[in-house]
Amino acid sequence: MNYLLDTCSMLWLVNGSPELSAEARRACGETGARLHVSAGGASEIEQKHGRKKLVLPLAPVAWWQKALERHGLIELPITASIAVASAALPRIHNDPFDRVLIATAQEHRLSILTPDPTIKSYPDLKTTW
């Protein structure tokens, strides 16, 4: 199966954190699983780091690149079609990064690894947690 990690899931995977659910951990370790992240997550990482809500051992851009390499994560760009689709989504979620994540998952037919109940409430969206 192919998965799209939200930013929390990515952080928890990289840090080996127990907050990553057993089901999400299983999905990440599945034989043949392809793990994706949205490029928008890099911006979220930088913002959290800049507000001192996230401590990283490296500068955010270096941390991001190392995390991709170490965990075999595939970075997906925010294309114009994803940006437009995110703006056209039903107004269930107001966070623009989460809306981009949802549109990315829909465009690439990915299941989102997320604990966020608001994301899970979107119709026609697969989530795993």
Q: Where are the beta strands (DSSP E) in 1-129?
A: 2-5, 34-38, 74-76, 111-113, 127-128
Predicted confidence band at 79 (pLDDT cuts at 50, 70, 90)? very high
Spatial neighbors of 100 by CB under 8 A, at least 6 apart, are 38, 40, 78, 82, 83, 86
pLDDT of residue 82: 98
Query: Domain coordinates of the chain in residue numbers?
Result: 2-128
Rounded to whole angstroms, the Cα distance separating 15 from 5 reads 14
List of residues 6+ apart from 86 with CB closer than 8 A: 96, 99, 100, 102, 103
Chain-wide mean pLDDT for the chain? 97
Average pLDDT over residues 32-49: 97
Average pLDDT over residues 53-80: 97
The predicted structure's pLDDT at residue 63: 98
What is the per-residue pLDDT for 74? 98
pTM of the model: 0.95
User: Which of the four CATH numbers 3.40.640.10, 3.40.50.1010, 3.40.1390.10, 2.140.10.30 does domain 2-128 have?
Assistant: 3.40.50.1010
Over residues 95-110, the mean pLDDT reads 97
Specify the pLDDT at position 81. Answer: 98
How many Cβ atoms from other residues are within 10 Å of residue 35's Cβ?
Answer: 22
Mean pLDDT computed over 34-52? 97
Residue 108: pLDDT band (50, 70, 90) is very high
pLDDT-derived band at 92, boundaries 50, 70, 90: very high
pLDDT, tens digit (0-9, with 9 covering 90-100), for 14-27: 999 999 999 999 99
Query: CA–CA separation, 53 vs 63, rounded Å?
Result: 15
